[in-house]
Structure 1
Amino acid sequence: MTKMENTFQHPEPNAQGYFGEFGGSFIPEELQKIMDQISVAYDECKNDPEYRAELARLYKHFVGRPSPIFHAQNLSEKYGTDIYLKREDLNHTGAHKINHCLGEALLAKKMGKKKLIAETGAGQHGVALATAAALVGLECDIYMGEVDIKKEHPNVVRMRILGARVIPATHGRKTLKEAVDAAFEAYMKDPITQIYAIGSVVGPHPFPAMVRDFQSIIGNEAREQFQQMTGKLPDNLVACVGGGSNAMGLFSAFLEDKDVTLYGVEPSGRSLDPGEHAATLTLGEPGIMHGFKSYMLKDSEGEPQQVYSVASGLDYPSVGPQHAFLKESGRANYTHINDKEAIDAFFELSRMEGIIPAIESSHAIAHAIKLAQQGEKGSILVNLSGRGDKDIDFVIENYGPEYGIESLLS
């Protein structure tokens, strides 16, 4: 295995899927038997040279990996700090999600499954999974909140072109949490012929570790590339965090490098009032939802709190258990960026570097800028986890005039 391939050997989690006190599997006994089968199959796959060679082949020739690192010179000069971007937005399908979707699709095929099902918020996981399903010849159902279906219409069209069924979640706030609820409910009805390809480092064991492992190619590439470019490691890593897959993918290769500071950036939305944000690690507390223990935002009855973010992919009231572990251990820092700061960063990167980012990734860009403004002189490597094609209509409709863009139809 070269340095730039996935890392399938980590000290965490333990055999029961715990990162410290977080993680585990809190699901019905009948479903636990299925999860145990997935764990066994995944252990076989990650130690199978043929499986790993096929995944590496697809990453290179289908996805276009390795994704490059770009020195954002214009931003760097403006803010007096070297800012670099790990360009996951250049992957086939436009984000990091294809990394684990291909791994999950190949696993499902090996297990003899007929269908992939999943949730999606911004639609990037849905597009990536629909892409992987088409490639390996599996059916695909994507559950998506009704609000997000309207907001992320371009991705909905892509999923349908690829042959997936897009099934709206119409309860609650009709966003990502409700899409997860609906997908879990559908999976419980038939866990035999289908597999729930969870879209982040969340869910019951083995998914937080499995998705982390598939995404670890980001950090392995970045570590080698950055040293080739600069002769040293970055001083700071910055990535947005909803469930946390792109951040864990980047962080995983640097966890033992104590001189590298890690920043996970959550959405503080409209405000830090209940229901107006999704800053789980900032304001949440330990709890259990969707089959795993981690930090979560709770209402007065201890149930998942209503959450909000301008970025549909960050709109989730919990977070991956390894992030909770990294927060508790002090290894990673978790902070937050509000809607306005994220949209400002969306336009700044677009207009200064010619790169239109996803709104999710714009939260990370905004924090990198904030670090520079606060006097950070060390290098900053941002995981640019997705491109903004999916967000263009929404941004122009809601923010265009504020940034000097009037509708051509008005």
Structure 2
Amino acid sequence: MRNLLPWREPVPPDGTMGEPGTRGRFGEYGGRYAPESLVEACREVDQTFREAWADPGFRGDLARLLALHAGRPTPLTPARRLSEELGVQLYLKREDLTHTGSHKINNVLGQALLATRMGRRRLIAETGAGQHGVATATAAALLGLEATVFMGERDIERQALNVFRMRMLGAEVIPVITGSRTLKDATSEAMRHWVGATGDSHYCVGSVIGPDPYPWMVREFQRVIGDEARGQFAAELRTGVPDHVVACVGGGSNAAGTFAGFADTPARLVGVEAEGGAGAARGRLGVLHGCRSLFLQDDDGQITQAHSIAAGLDYPGVGPEHAHLRDLGRARYVTVTDDEAVGAAVRLARTEGIVPALESAHALAWVIRAAGGGELPSGSTVLMTLSGRGDKDVSTLKELL
């Protein structure tokens, strides 16, 4: 079953996707539900980020790193052959072409600079698909920091290439053997570890989840995607903004960063979740990993296990700002199946010569389905964030094809 909330007219530019305020809330979502031992650490991160984000020197340092090390700006690529087949004009924001191969580097470089500003010498991170872990290990090596990455044992097995990359970069990778042995449990272990390490370590959260200020801060570090894409789209077509802006959603950082560039426009925002991990589409109000948001739960309120062929979407909830955007009707959240995502990955490879990450293939699968079903009118302009490249998923695809 696909939970498709009806389209509503986009909300006016009233500060949507602005600062959440001192309580760290997006409507009824967000907040700082952290153990007492982490409250002060979160406050320090909040204060330091606010000061840094207002400091032209910090912003300049980050911009230089993004340009010289991460390879920004990333291109906006017209998918010409696929567009002709689908009857829409599809443009891909190529985060797969960043150094490390995904959007994760945008956030991690920002948080690594923040860690050095706070005098921390070690980064702690969780990872599912391994891309955030690789980005964290990369930034740590670049800035002379240590890195400890928690990763579910199941994800270690299916993302062996990224595990090797992290260790080659000098990071310690700690297998998590509890629960589902995937992203949810890796996040839980990373937060538990941070409790005893706040003095010398910064927890580098990889998505728009966690206690305030992380959902807002990560979105701000990722908004470079949306800001770049908006300028590039206007330059490419000179028609203002696309009709639809589409991105995959696990916790939701690439989508939040993309949506931030278009929140005050008439563009329709579409977040695409995995059928087995649809927090925004089918979640219920709850608290997990330090924030109040929408999570998959049983009748007793216990968090249930998510599933996705894409390790980065294998999370039982969604970031609080996405839950708020859903409630506002400003963004729509839909789901696709594993089979649809695999089919989309193959189709992009064979029409455009691009092998996408399976996470990104979910977004493309919805575009293909919506175009074929008439949900995207002929001639519509569609901007889709290609959040990562598919090198890490080759072994999975090889088994299926």
TM exceeds 0.5? Answer: yes
Deviation, structure 1 residue 387: 0.1
Distance across 2 between alignment mates of 1:265 and 1:59: 27
Corresponding residue of 1:66 = 73
Over residues 134-173 of structure 1, what are the superposed CA-to-partner deviations in whole Å (9 max), with x where a residue is unaligned?
Answer: 1111100000000100100000000000000110000111
Deviation, structure 1 residue 29: 2.2
Deviation, structure 1 residue 207: 0.3
Distance across 1 between alignment mates of 2:23 and 2:160: 39
Residue 371 in 1 paired to residue 370 in 2?
yes
Over residues 342-385 of structure 1, what are the superposed CA-to-partner deviations in whole Å (9 max), with x where a residue is unaligned?
Answer: 00001000111000000000000111111211222211111000
Corresponding residue of 1:273 = none
Deviation, structure 1 residue 114: 1.4
Corresponding residue of 1:185 = 192
Corresponding residue of 2:62 = 55
SS at structure 2 position matched to 1:37: helix
Letter in 2 for 1:162: L
Residue 390 in 1 paired to residue 392 in 2?
yes
Deviation, structure 1 residue 28: 2.0
Distance across 2 between alignment mates of 1:14 and 1:329: 18
Distance across 1 between alignment mates of 2:298 and 2:202: 31
Identity between Structure 1 and Structure 2 (%): 49
Corresponding residue of 1:82 = 89
Distance across 2 between alignment mates of 1:151 and 1:29: 36
Deviation, structure 1 residue 256: 1.1
Unmatched 5+ stretches in structure 2 = 1-15
Distance across 2 between alignment mates of 1:104 and 1:12: 18
Corresponding residue of 1:42 = 49
| TM-score normalized with structure 1 length | 0.92
Whether the aligned pair in 2 keeps the contact of 1:64 and 1:92 (CA below 8 Å) is yes
Over residues 11-31 of structure 1, what are the superposed CA-to-partner deviations in whole Å (9 max), with x where a residue is unaligned?
Answer: 331211000110000112231
SS at structure 1 position matched to 2:321: helix
Distance across 1 between alignment mates of 2:318 and 2:88: 30
Distance across 1 between alignment mates of 2:150 and 2:299: 28
Residue 27 in 1 paired to residue 34 in 2?
yes
Corresponding residue of 2:294 = 295
Distance across 2 between alignment mates of 1:28 and 1:389: 38
Deviation, structure 1 residue 266: 0.4
Deviation, structure 1 residue 10: 5.7
Over residues 96-131 of structure 1, what are the superposed CA-to-partner deviations in whole Å (9 max), with x where a residue is unaligned?
Answer: 000000000000011000110010000000000100
SS at structure 1 position matched to 2:69: helix
Whether the aligned pair in 2 keeps the contact of 1:127 and 1:155 (CA below 8 Å) is yes
Distance across 1 between alignment mates of 2:249 and 2:17: 21
SS at structure 1 position matched to 2:150: strand
Over residues 309-356 of structure 1, what are the superposed CA-to-partner deviations in whole Å (9 max), with x where a residue is unaligned?
Answer: 000000111111000000000000000010000000010001110000
Whether the aligned pair in 2 keeps the contact of 1:19 and 1:322 (CA below 8 Å) is yes
Distance across 1 between alignment mates of 2:315 and 2:188: 12
Over residues 267-311 of structure 1, what are the superposed CA-to-partner deviations in whole Å (9 max), with x where a residue is unaligned?
Answer: 00xxxxxxxx11111111111111100001112321211111000
Moved more, 204-213 or 43-52: 43-52
Corresponding residue of 2:153 = 146
Distance across 2 between alignment mates of 1:389 and 1:227: 31
Deviation, structure 1 residue 189: 1.6
SS at structure 1 position matched to 2:285: strand
Runs of 4+ in 1 over 2 A off after TM superposition: 9-12
Distance across 1 between alignment mates of 2:389 and 2:287: 32
Whether the aligned pair in 2 keeps the contact of 1:12 and 1:18 (CA below 8 Å) is no
Moved more, 294-303 or 385-394: 294-303
- Among 230, 239, 242, the residue aligned to 1:234: 242
Corresponding residue of 1:120 = 127
Letter in 1 for 2:366: H
Corresponding residue of 1:280 = 279
Distance across 1 between alignment mates of 2:390 and 2:40: 40
Deviation, structure 1 residue 50: 1.1
| TM-score normalized with structure 2 length | 0.94
Unmatched 5+ stretches in structure 1 = 1-8, 269-276, 401-410
Counterpart mapping for 1:180-219 below 5 A: 180-219=187-226
Note the aligned Cα RMSD (angstroms): 1.0
Residue 244 in 1 paired to residue 243 in 2?
no
Moved more, 60-69 or 374-383: 374-383
Corresponding residue of 2:228 = 221
Corresponding residue of 2:4 = none
Corresponding residue of 2:330 = 331
Moved more, 100-109 or 180-189: 180-189
Corresponding residue of 2:262 = 254
Corresponding residue of 2:315 = 316
Distance across 2 between alignment mates of 1:97 and 1:360: 13
